[in-house]
Structure 1
């Protein structure tokens, strides 16, 4: 029987992890499908955006909650550097609590919402908040669920454009995997500058090789007992480190503690969390300057021996693949394939059900228990 990330399909099914395993493994194929879809809608997207990205007064807010927020954080600086428009990432969870810090009534604003389900209360409330407070607001919904409330509402609004991801990217499993990378790449392709088709094709090819070549070493790494995992990344890869740490927390039901930081920031206190049962994973930047700072930290960690294991991921790393010469934001989905697999195997090692590690319902695939309050009542 064909193996899927080092186990056969029935073995994943037996431990209730098949959905997540398949959704990790399908990503390069979905990136190709996404490329074809974006190409077919390129004229419509361009017409909707018009010349807004060329306007220095234009505000572009990339928003979402949890993993969806990290999508925006990975791409924000790349997009902001490409255009005169002001591009920033702001979580829906911050927009709702402090709208006065981020929104201005007369500033032209494009709210880009990243949403797997499109039905989380914060996503819906953030759109309504911006609609109410900003006179000249428009909305781009990058979502995986055509039946979600966000997409359904956008279908009837002339100021909204729904950009749907491939249907299979709406993960059945608890953790965001395919949805995350598809939405990230969609943002870079549609809001970025220059030709993206060759970049996406090269990334998908590298993804195929990574899934093939990393399956065994990542599974072996996950088989080693660990109490704490630290992911480090610089620039756009800092948000990748956040997403990677969240995957560990989610898929192990919080049994393995995880944190994230930058290579330079890690010395400023967070390093004190390390012990012999800790794993440090450093995402290597494609930028030479960042690479040098990372190298200094790696030498320090290996010299003082305070961590149980130190592993690098990326170009010229312990876990590597022949990758295209692309900026860090573009390479983030590729390196994330390692972190997703590692979290999946950790979940299995701990005897959990990766497709739903929270059988007691304390944490849910679509967040529950949120009460939305009107901003003008306080």
Structure 2
């Protein structure tokens, strides 16, 4: 066992702890009627995309998600939520410094006492979901679980689905796969992006992600016999036909999309092991991106 695999396996238990914070998260993330912007980098940006879609679909108010490095204070928001595991990412801190006065700033983080605390009026601290690993797994899934509960979703099934995903067979033999495509729709598009990132980070493998229906608008052209097409949530079943016609292996199941992400995380680790890589020491990556002035 390595740190990453242990943290993947801990997710059902950590989610249950997170759901005990639903009332606190509802106050900070639901904010009915407010216009909200969610910021993040890398994994946290994909989480922000999913939360924005979930919140707006729940009828709680207009919600946008922007990569922190691309934030420009051109639109008015009532609340800006920054998602940052470490609380130290340079681009997130720089974005919060640009937020106009009078806008409520909220930090969602796994570590207290970090620089982000001085730039936010409120903080949702999920320190029990922090990770030793560079590659994020349980922190982002816990943020999403807490947000979904805060928006009124019944997640009484979630831990059981997560445990089942930890025991399920992998969607393919890692030795037979060299190209992965992850598809989602609605809030699971963010999950698709996150799954593809996990494969790149852990296994240095060729992975892509798309809104499901866009797969046939060009990306299908690179699918082949060594491709795995992995669908999150309610992706139209007809897309499997397009994948199989290209010779690809297809995978879908009926578990909660967060549990499906657990399976994708496991596959990324299995692919890393097949390639002789250590997922706890991903190439060129650090736990937090902190840039110098020269950068």
**Which residue number corresponds to residue 85 of structure 1?**
61
Query: What pairs with 1:337-356 in structure 2 (closer than 5 Å)?
Result: 337-356=262-281
Distance across 1 between alignment mates of 2:60 and 2:9:
37
The reply to whether residue 35 of structure 1 matches residue 35 of structure 2 is: no
Distance across 1 between alignment mates of 2:35 and 2:125:
23
**Which residue number corresponds to residue 82 of structure 2?**
113
**Which residue number corresponds to residue 263 of structure 1?**
212
**Which residue number corresponds to residue 328 of structure 1?**
none
Distance across 1 between alignment mates of 2:164 and 2:215:
31
Residues 191-240 of structure 1 deviation map (CA, whole Å, 9 limit, x = unaligned):
x1x3x5xx23321122122222x1xx21x724323221111112212111
Query: What pairs with 1:240-255 in structure 2 (closer than 5 Å)?
Result: 240-252=191-203, 254=204
TM-score (norm: length of structure 1): 0.72
TM-score (norm: length of structure 2): 0.91
Residues 238-265 of structure 1 deviation map (CA, whole Å, 9 limit, x = unaligned):
111111000000001x2x1100113311
Distance across 2 between alignment mates of 1:276 and 1:210:
25
**Offset at residue 78 of structure 1 (A):** 2.0
Distance across 1 between alignment mates of 2:192 and 2:292:
26
Q: SS where residue 286 of structure 2 aligns?
A: coil
Contact 2:49 2:187 in 1 (8 A): yes
CA RMSD after TM alignment: 2.3
**Offset at residue 121 of structure 1 (A):** 0.2
**Which residue number corresponds to residue 325 of structure 1?**
none
The reply to whether residue 309 of structure 1 matches residue 275 of structure 2 is: no
Query: What pairs with 1:175-190 in structure 2 (closer than 5 Å)?
Result: 175-190=135-150
Q: SS where residue 157 of structure 2 aligns?
A: helix
**Which residue number corresponds to residue 235 of structure 1?**
186
**Offset at residue 145 of structure 1 (A):** 1.1
Aligned length: 295
Q: SS where residue 282 of structure 2 aligns?
A: coil
**Which residue number corresponds to residue 69 of structure 1?**
45
Q: SS where residue 225 of structure 2 aligns?
A: coil
**Which residue number corresponds to residue 32 of structure 2?**
53
**Offset at residue 351 of structure 1 (A):** 0.7
**Offset at residue 161 of structure 1 (A):** 1.0
Distance across 2 between alignment mates of 1:260 and 1:332:
15
**Which residue number corresponds to residue 206 of structure 1?**
161
The reply to whether residue 363 of structure 1 matches residue 263 of structure 2 is: no
Gaps of 5+ in 1: 1-11, 13-17, 286-290, 316-320, 322-330, 374-378
- Flag the structure with larger Rg: 1
Taking a change above 3 Å as real, the CA distance of residues 84 and 171 of structure 1, as seen in their structure-2 partners, is closer
Residues 33-77 of structure 1 deviation map (CA, whole Å, 9 limit, x = unaligned):
1122345x47xx63x67x9522xxx32001101110111111212
- Structure 1 stretches of at least 4 aligned residues deviating more than 3 Å after TM superposition: 368-373
Contact 1:34 1:166 in 2 (8 A): no
Query: What pairs with 1:273-292 in structure 2 (closer than 5 Å)?
Result: 273-285=222-234, 291=235
**Offset at residue 363 of structure 1 (A):** 2.5
Contact 2:90 2:291 in 1 (8 A): no
Contact 2:41 2:67 in 1 (8 A): yes
Residues 305-354 of structure 1 deviation map (CA, whole Å, 9 limit, x = unaligned):
x2342222x31xxxxx4xxxxxxxxx332211111100011111111111
Alignment partner for residue 9 of structure 2, among 18, 25, 29?
25
Query: What pairs with 1:75-154 in structure 2 (closer than 5 Å)?
Result: 75-83=51-59, 85-95=61-71, 99-100=72-73, 103-104=74-75, 107-130=76-99, 134-151=100-117, 153=118
Distance across 2 between alignment mates of 1:77 and 1:94:
19
